[in-house]
Amino acid sequence: MTAYLNALGLICALGRGKAEVARRLLGGDGSGMQPYPKAVTGRQLPVGAVTEKLPSLADTPLQHATRNNQMLLAAIEEIEADLHEAIARFGRSRIGVVMGTSTTGIQEATQGITDLVREGQLPSSYHYGHQELSAPASFLSERLQLSGPSYSISTACTSSARALLSAKRLLDAGLCDAVICGGVDTLCDLTLQGFSALEATSERICNPYSVNRDGINIGEAAAVFLMTQESAPVALLGAGASSDAHHISAPDPQGLGAIEAMRKALSSAATQAEQIGYLNLHGTATRHNDAMESLAVAAVFPSGVPCSSSKPLTGHTLGAAGALEAAFCWLALSEHNPARLLPPHRWDGQQDAELPRMNLIAAGTTMAAAGQRRMMTNSFAFGGNNISLILGDAP
């Protein structure tokens, strides 16, 4: 059965809430990147940081008192009325929670361990639960007093895209009538140091698909949907996942897993490649990822497809990226986009001649006017973990 994305709450480097994010995303209103406040391996790195004041967790048990949960609560507050309506209609036992994350509260845990090493004891603010990967889902279920299925998914950069697929499966199986699904990840020293050690980070705003690309920027975000089988303007039409296990961190250079995920998504949505009006690329701006994805896109879309990467605007939000970029497609399909604009591709325009040419779209590009609109978004992760989602107008 069709799954509908009835409500969306989000916060990222482009702002807080659907209206502000849609305006900056679709209008080509610059980037949300800014310098990280401390040097990383001796370098000053740009990051997609959230600067808005976040909700207080003063009334929350210590184990849930993390910036990650503050970000998640900021997204939840935008759809609070929709959630309470769903609770009243379906009951607390019939609403599930599936969240994707990769960092959870590791920054708070790292700070606690640092104090232990320096001072000989853990600070009173430390709780082991901060770093548990289950924390986002547990936090939401407890805060909203829900007793339906509740779990987190951590498959690196595909985590929250897989959360949407898992949410749909809960609905299809009849285990839930509604699912709160999405993802959240926050900036932390450990992640920045780790990607820098892999020589994967750039000191400039990232430049996907350019011959001059030299690495990623890291960002933070929370994006949360309320998914049901009750009709809404935007639907999750299909999804495809694969795991090629090519390498622990490098993608399969031929893009076989990515191709499989995209083709599975098209089959799931009963859609031909020519019917996809826009593709949100994973587009990390690393040498290997962009080369792999360009080959995969050329294989699945031989006639081309309008596409862009949104990571120069928000940074790579890791476990939140899949849900955030699905949210960007949702915004492009929604009433927040009356001009029918597509998210533009920000780069220097210097095509890499060694890659298949892609239809990377400029600001002001609009969707085709006729027929049901369909958009695909790609997420690829360490370990050869791949997922593609297709969102579109309700059938």
Of the candidates 346, 377, 165, 389, which has an alpha carbon nearest to the alpha carbon of residue 281?
377
pLDDT surpasses 90 at 247? no
* Dist. CA 125–CA 122, nearest whole Å: 8
Residue found by looking up tokens 């959870």 in the block = 104
What token pair was written down for 158? 């595909």
From the candidates 316, 329, 336, 345, give the one annotated as an active-site residue: 316
What token pair was written down for 219? 């960002």
* Dist. CA 291–CA 365, nearest whole Å: 24
From the candidates 12, 157, 307, 329, give the one annotated as an active-site residue: 157
Mean pLDDT of 248-268: 91
From the candidates 130, 282, 336, 345, give the one annotated as an active-site residue: 282
**In what helix (H) or strand (E) does residue 32 lie, and over which residues does it extend?**
none
Mean pLDDT of 246-255: 81
Residue found by looking up tokens 């299909």 in the block = 238
Active-site residue 282, yes or no? yes
CB atoms within 10 A of CB 237: 24
Predicted confidence (pLDDT) per residue in 321-342, tens digit: 999 999 999 999 999 999 999 9
Mean pLDDT of 24-29: 88
pLDDT at residue 28, rounded to an integer: 78
Active-site residue 316, yes or no? yes
pLDDT at residue 15, rounded to an integer: 97
pLDDT at residue 31, rounded to an integer: 82
CATH code for the domain defined by 3-393: 3.40.47.10
pLDDT at residue 101, rounded to an integer: 98
Predicted confidence (pLDDT) per residue in 131-161, tens digit: 999 999 999 999 999 999 999 999 999 999 9
Predicted confidence (pLDDT) per residue in 38-76, tens digit: 888 889 999 999 999 999 999 999 999 999 999 999 999
The residues near 28 (Cβ < 8 Å, ≥ 6 apart) are: 344, 346, 363, 364
Predicted confidence (pLDDT) per residue in 197-223, tens digit: 888 999 999 999 999 999 999 999 999
Radius of gyration of the chain (CA): 20
pLDDT surpasses 90 at 260? yes
Banded pLDDT at 186 (limits 50, 70, 90): very high
